[in-house]
Amino acid sequence: MKKLLMIPAALLLSTAAAAPKISAQSIIVNPTQPDLSVSVRVDKDSSGAQNPAYKVGEKAVISASVNRDAYVYLFNVNPDGSVDQILPNRLSSDNSNFVKANTTRSFPAPGDNFTFDIAGPIGQNKVLALASLTELNLSQISSFKTSQDQFATVNAKNQAGLAQALSIVVTPIPQNSWVSDTAFYTVAAQNPVSTGSLFVGANVDNATVTLNGQRLGGANVTYNNLRPGSYPIRIQAPGYRDISTTVAIRAGATTNVNAEFVAVTPPAPSTLTITIRSSVNNARVFVDGREAGTISNGSLNVQVDRGSHEIVMIAPGYRTFLSTYNVTTNGQITINPTR
C-alpha cells in the first residue's frame, strides 16, 4: 500500500508583541485551548517529540488517542506537497473514525488485512490529526470517487489548500469542540547517504532562508544534499522580525525547522494633535508657556509631544484659564472660561 506523507505548514497565530520563535507547527491551529485533546504518533516515536526516520519499504503504524469521545480525521502531506487522507478510509476493519475517550486508534489496526508501507518521495513528512466532538462534513476536502475506492481523494493540491479547507470546515462549530495535533517523520533512502536534508516551514508567505551565509531560497521547502554539520540559519520575511538560530544537519536525516513570525509593531507617534475648542473666539492659547495660536471659528489645532502639558487660555473679559493635561492620543479639549 502507498504510504501517506506530510510536509509542515503554518497557520500559527501569534501576538504582535511577542518575540519571534522556532516551534513545531500544526497545519491548522485552534486559537483557544479546548478541553478536548488529541495526540497523534508514529510507532517509532511514542513521545511525539522526535523526528524518526523510516527507510523506503519499512512498515509503519500511525495512532491517535483522545481524552473525550470524538471523531478523528488523519491527513498526510508528502514532501512534494501532495495530500492524502488516512482516516476515514474503507480498508480498516472498523470503517468508522469515531474514537472512544481514553482509547487509541491505530492505522492499520491489529487484524486489518493491509499494511502501511513507506514509499517515496524522500524527505520530511507530517501527519495531521483533527479531532472534533461532532462529525465533520469533509465534502469540500475529499471524496470517494467510486464505490471501489478504498481511500478518499483529497481535493487540496498542497498543504496550504488543506489548511484553508480545514479552516472553512471548522469555522461553524464552537472553538472548544475541536483540536489538532501533528507528528513528524522522515523518509530516508534504503542505502546510507553522506548528506542530509533541511525542511524550513514558515507561517507567512515570501519567507526566505539563509544557511551558513548562503541563501537557499524560499520557506516551506525541503533542501537536500546538504553537508552534515552545525550551521547558523536566518529566516526572513518582509514586514517581520528576522529569526535566527543554529541547526544540525545529519547524514541520512531531515532536520525540521519551523519559523513562527510576528509582525513588527510600528512605534507609536511621538507628536500628537489636540484640538482645543471654545465658545470664545479670538482667545489666545499658550502651551507650556509658549503661544500656540488664537481660537478661530471655535477651535485651534495644536501639535504636542506625548506627555503632560500646561495649557493656558487668555481672552479679554474672561478669567485666565489654566490646566494641565496628559496627552497620550490625538483628541480634543473643550475650554469654556468664566467671566
CATH at residue 61: 2.60.40.2550
Q: How many domains does the chain have?
A: 2
| pLDDT over threshold 90, residue 177 | yes
pLDDT confidence band for 191 (50 / 70 / 90)? low
What average pLDDT does this structure show over 127-142? 92
| pLDDT over threshold 90, residue 188 | no
Looking at 207, 238, 260, the residue that finishes a domain is: 260
| pLDDT over threshold 80, residue 123 | yes
Contact predicate 98/73, CB 8 Å: no
Element at 4 (helix H, strand E): none
Q: Tell me, yes or no, whether 2 lies in a domain.
A: no
Can you spell out the DSSP letters for 241-305? --EEEEEEE-TT-EEEEEEE--BPPPPPPSEEEEEEEES-TT-EEEETTEEEEE-BTTEEEEEEE
Contact predicate 285/292, CB 8 Å: yes
Q: What is the pLDDT of residues 296-326, one digit of tens each?
A: 888 999 999 988 999 998 988 888 888 999 9
Counting Cβ atoms within 10 Å, is residue 103 exposed (0-12), middle (13-18) or buried (19+)?
exposed
Share of the chain above pLDDT 70, in %: 90
Tell me: do 85 and 124 sit in the same domain.
Answer: yes
Bridge partners, 323 (sequence order): 311
Residue 64, Cβ neighbours under 10 Å: how many? 27
Can you spell out the DSSP letters for 212-236? TTEEEEESSEEEEEEPSEEEEEEEE
Tell me: do 242 and 125 sit in the same domain.
Answer: yes
pLDDT of residue 2: 42
What average pLDDT does this structure show over 191-214? 88
Tell me: do 109 and 193 sit in the same domain.
Answer: yes
pLDDT confidence band for 268 (50 / 70 / 90)? low
- DSSP summary character for residue 117: B
pLDDT of residue 27: 81
Share of the chain above pLDDT 90, in %: 39
Contact predicate 199/250, CB 8 Å: no
pLDDT of residue 296: 86
Distance CA 78, CA 9 (A): 11
pLDDT of residue 6: 32
Can you spell out the DSSP letters for 156-214? -SSHHHHHHHHHHHHTTS-GGGEEEEEEEEEEE-SS--S-EEEEEEESSTT-EEEETTE
pLDDT confidence band for 16 (50 / 70 / 90)? very low
pLDDT of residue 140: 87
What average pLDDT does this structure show over 266-285? 84
Tell me: do 154 and 277 sit in the same domain.
Answer: no
At residue 89, what is the residue type? N
Tell me: do 254 and 291 sit in the same domain.
Answer: no
Distance CA 207, CA 119 (A): 30
Tell me: do 105 and 232 sit in the same domain.
Answer: yes
Tell me: do 177 and 143 sit in the same domain.
Answer: yes
Q: What is the pTM of this model?
A: 0.55
Tell me: do 170 and 309 sit in the same domain.
Answer: no
What average pLDDT does this structure show over 191-204? 84
Which structural domain, as residue segments, surrounds residue 309?
271-335
pLDDT of residue 311: 92
Helix/strand/coil percent split, the chain, to 5: 5, 45, 50
Contact predicate 62/193, CB 8 Å: no
Pairing of strands 208-211, 214-218: antiparallel
Q: Which of 296, 287, 339, 292 is nearest to 316 (CA)?
A: 339
